[in-house]
Amino acid sequence: MFRKLHLPAWYAGIAALGIGFLSPQYNRFDGHFGLSHIWVLPMLLLLLCRYEELHSRRYQSLLIGILIWFSSQLHFYYLGVSAIFLGFYTLFHILRDRSWRNFWTRFSHMIVMIVLPFAALNIWTHWSDYCPDRAAAPYGFTNYIGRWEGVFLPYNFFPMHQWINENITKIRGMDFEAEAYAGLAAFVFTLWLIFKRRFRLFEPEWEHAAYHRVHKNYLRGICFAAFATLIFGLGFPFSIKGLEWMVNYLGPLRQFRGLGRFTWAFYYIINILMFYILWNRSQRMQMGKQWMTWLKSRSEVVAKYFPNVAKWSLVLIPLTVLCWEAFYFQKHKALPLMPSIAQHNAVAASPDHWLNKVDFARFQAFMPLPYYHVGSENLWLEVYYPLFKKVQYTALQTGVPDMGVNLSRAAIGRMVKSMQFSLHACEPPELLSELPDNRPIALMIEMSKWEEVQKKYGHLLDKATQVYQNPELKIMSLIPDSVRAWSQQQALRVLAEAQQASVNAGRGFRSEKQPGWYTSINFDSITTSEHVFQGKGSGYGNIGDTTWIWNKPMPKGTYEFSIWTKVDEDMGMTQDVKFLEKSRLDGHQVYFRKETLRSEIKTIVNSWALYVLSFEVQEDNSNLGIFLHKKDASAPFWYDEVMIKDKNFNLYRQESGWVVRNNYWYKLPKNWPNKK
């Protein structure tokens, strides 16, 4: 790239190495590996330079299209970054030359570069995708944005970052998606570009050099596109408070929720511009007569050598700074080389290792406990990394499928089924009917989390038998049909409790003792709702609007709030619930709390999920508001069967085919008489 711009080989080589070894994509070698291909964006810039050089551009636009088509299969974000960058680049040149011929040429080449690869990839992915219900609006578009500190301030392990943080101002913490440090020299160069008297890349006398005339439109175009793409990657304007609604009109761009990655284009381009401009300015540098007279009055030696010192300082100081930062970055971000886990001896050297002790051929799948479900599909159960590694290399070594989820854009229907299987079984999980047979499932249990697993996954552990245990891992064999049996037996156990409850609690409920304060809301009066969980109706609205569930006085105490929502819709699990307590005397706020419902999910029944949260009313003479609202979101949602109750007693009710305990709806076996 630098040689194409007529920089000398030694200078181009050192600058290219510095840019390569400080690249923000280096951070992706140990995560999001597809994003670590550092050559993609520089190759795009090189082909774009050749595109501007040649009179016939059709072949070059086709090469750019092929590059984007290929690199998008390494990681789809290369398409997103390239599309936004080339869009701004094309817009710049159309505005500079508003002739019809230029517009048609640029626009038609843009179709070849971006639209055709996008169409080809969409046809391919949709043709091969048997899951039509993937999330159209993944979480995080206005969260995983770039930050100016991440672009212009060093990484937090750099001495300068620590000095600024301790002596000048506190630097806010950032998600790693926001970090794409351009380098100190590039930061100073950016300030010079912005604040110099005239924002001009080229000096007037550069018109006399042929290669300047050839490249100036290209360099001006990538400069404009780099700054525009940087601003887009920083979330402007849709991340500004009050303008979040703009996200709903961005179409396919919403799939590229990691906007911090769009700042990578700025990293490469600002460094290319810097070294190009500084080299050419240094070669044409001439000291003014007044400066030379002043220098000679001080010393003839200084006057003789100072021009060359200034000339080479302009070139070498930024180059030295970049190389030192690249060296420091590599030294403190070393990637340890480890034996490949594809080799059996690398992961199971000990004779007592589970890969050497357990016959995995008899299992149809692994299920990690604690269960993880990570992706962009409205749900996030965090990975416990030590267990994740064990499950991954066990699956790799044995070829047995892993039921844990660590991917993005998972189909919503499949997400609901896999989640339901991991949660408290109020009905036989739907996944059971889709398993190929009743061969056992291996429960891979992290021993350091054993107590948590026992409390949360009783329906899986109840009939499971142990086949292996060491201080790190316990493996248990689960017969899938035992989960169906546990669900039915649990429903009968709750039914027996309900039949023993002798205290009439009103509203069709009974209790085992004198009940405290509670309310139950069934929304049966809203019969226009498209989806209903139980009864004749349900509530519905937009996830981005404020939906009030309760706004009345309540006595002081500790309570449980539970609600059922339909979760097989796009963004179905992303709702937030907010508690607002205000004094009835003067209206001042006593208490406020916000929780994400999906973190409190307890069970799934027939594509509806139950969420249960504990909360406290702190003053007797206060009014409590409970409402649902998700900032920066727009999607329909449905809710049903709300219960708010004191935690110190249980409520029971029997309906046709169901028995209820504290808003947990248990499905009775089919052969059980359907009577109250």
Chain center to CA of 374: 9
Q: Which of 325, 331, 337 is nearest to 23 (CA)?
A: 325
Domain contains 441: yes
Residue 426 and residue 367 share a domain: yes
Same domain, yes or no: 516 and 557: yes
SS3 label, residue 162: helix
In a shared domain, residues 656 and 538: yes
Q: Indicate if 552 and 416 belong to the same structural domain.
A: no
Per-residue pLDDT tens for 288-345?
Answer: 566 556 555 666 655 555 667 778 888 999 999 999 999 999 999 888 888 888 888 8
Instruction: Report the mean per-residue pLDDT for the chain.
Output: 89
Q: Per mean pLDDT, which range of 251-255, 546-550, 555-559, 651-655 is the poorest?
A: 251-255
Q: Where are the alpha helices (DSSP H) in 364-507?
A: 385-398, 412-422, 450-456, 458-461, 480-500
Please tell me whether residues 525 and 633 are part of one structural domain: yes
Structure tokens at 300: 């003839």
Laid out side by side, the sheet with 509-511 consists of 503-506, 509-511, 652-655, 658-661, 664-667
- The per-residue pLDDT for 299 is 65
* 70 is a domain residue: no
**Residue 549: pLDDT over 80:** yes
Q: Which residue among 435, 454, 487 closes a domain?
A: 487
Q: Is residue 638 part of a domain?
A: yes
**Are residue 482 and residue 508 in the same domain, yes or no?**
no
Q: What is the mean pLDDT of residues 410-429?
A: 92
- Report pLDDT digits (tens) over 15-26: 999 999 999 999
Q: Is residue 27 part of a domain?
A: no
**Do 517 and 650 share a domain, yes or no?**
yes
Question: What's the pLDDT at 377?
Answer: 66
Domain boundary among 487, 512, 527: 487
> Are 456 and 534 part of one and the same domain?
no
Q: Answer yes or no: do 632 and 527 share one domain.
A: yes
Q: What is the mean pLDDT of residues 206-233?
A: 84
Q: Hey, what are 213's tokens?
A: 């005339």
Tell me, yes or no, whether 516 and 472 share the same domain.
no
In a domain, 210, yes or no: no
Q: Long-range contacts for 13-21 (Cβ within 8 Å, ≥24 apart)?
A: 14/319, 14/323, 15/271, 15/275, 15/319, 15/322, 17/323, 17/326, 18/319, 18/322, 18/323, 18/325, 18/326, 19/267, 19/268, 19/271, 19/272, 19/322, 19/326, 20/326, 21/326, 21/327, 21/329, 21/330
Q: Shortest CA distance to 271 belongs to which of 522, 5, 61, 84?
A: 5
Residue 392 pLDDT: 92
Question: Does residue 282 belong to any structural domain of this protein?
Answer: no
How far is the C-alpha of 19 from the C-alpha of 2, rounded, in Å? 12
Distance separating alpha carbons of residues 443 and 456, to the nearest angstrom: 14
Q: Say whether both 405 and 511 belong to one domain.
A: no
Q: Which domain holds residue 571?
A: 504-667
Tell me which of 487, 522, 554 is where a domain ends. Answer: 487
* pLDDT for res 676: 45
* Predicted pLDDT of residue 675: 47
Say if 123 falls within a structural domain: no
- Percent of the chain scored above 90 by pLDDT? 63
- Give the pLDDT confidence of 600-636 residue by residue, as tens digits: 999 999 999 999 999 999 988 789 999 999 877 778 9
Q: Is the pLDDT of residue 415 over 70?
A: yes
637: in domain: yes
DSSP three-state, residue 352? coil
Number of structural domains (the chain) is 2
What was the pLDDT predicted at 370?
Answer: 96
Regarding whether 549 and 514 lie in a shared domain, the answer is yes
> Is the model's pLDDT at 409 over the cut of 80?
no
pLDDT digits (tens, 9 = 90+) for 632-650: 777 899 999 999 999 999 9
- pLDDT at res. 209: 66
- Tens of pLDDT along 649-664? 999 999 889 999 999 9
pLDDT top residue among 364 and 209: 364
Average pLDDT for residues 46-73, to the nearest whole number?
91
